[in-house]
């Protein structure tokens, strides 16, 4: 999982990638962010971002995370100053990805605009 997190963080808007990676790994130690249905939503609060940073990662063949195959990764980095509104955003993404149709659309997604439409509608 650490290699997956490293790749996701490297694509984020974090100004301090090692710090962001450390925050995500520490959060992951508290409990797996693999939520079922081939989805994981690693997330953390960190001072290395000034605003929300979301990175979508797709592993078409899947990666074993804690005995579960994960194909869709949604990394979310929140500023430390973020209120609890991040819980609402997590809920929206979980709800969207509970649909098999939406998960398939993401895996086959042609571009970022379609990804955003699937995650946030």
Are the CB atoms for 67 and 32 separated by under 8 Å? no
Tally of domains within the chain = 1
**Element spanning 85, H or E:** helix 85-97
Give the contacts of 79 (CB within 8 A, at least 6 positions apart).
45, 46, 47, 49, 50, 51, 52
Does the pLDDT at position 14 exceed 70?
Answer: yes
Q: Which one is predicted more confidently, 50 or 118?
A: 50
Radius of gyration of the chain (CA): 13
pLDDT at 20: 94
Q: Rounded distance, CA 34 to CA 103, Å?
A: 14
- The pLDDT of 72-79, averaged and rounded, is 92
List the CATH number of the domain containing 64. 3.40.930.10
Domain enclosing residue 29, as ranges: 2-120
Burial of 88: CB neighbours in 10 Å, binned 0-12, 13-18, 19+: exposed
Q: Rounded distance, CA 73 to CA 53, Å?
A: 13
Is 36 strand, coil or helix? strand
Partner residues linked to 75 by β-bridges: 55
Which pTM was predicted? 0.87
């Amino acid at each position: 999982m650490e290699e997956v997190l490293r790749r996701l963080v490297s694509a984020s808007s974090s100004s301090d990638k090692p710090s962001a990676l450390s925050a995500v790994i520490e959060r992951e130690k508290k409990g797996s962010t693999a939520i079922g249905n081939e989805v994981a939503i690693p997330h953390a609060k960190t001072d290395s971002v000034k605003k929300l940073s979301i990175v979508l990662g797709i592993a078409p063949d899947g990666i074993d995370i804690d005995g579960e195959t994960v194909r869709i990764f949604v990394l979310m980095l929140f500023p430390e100053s973020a209120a609890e509104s991040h819980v609402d955003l997590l809920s929206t993404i979980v709800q969207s990805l509970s649909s098999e149709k939406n998960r398939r659309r993401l895996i086959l997604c042609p571009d970022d605009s379609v990804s955003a439409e699937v995650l946030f509608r």
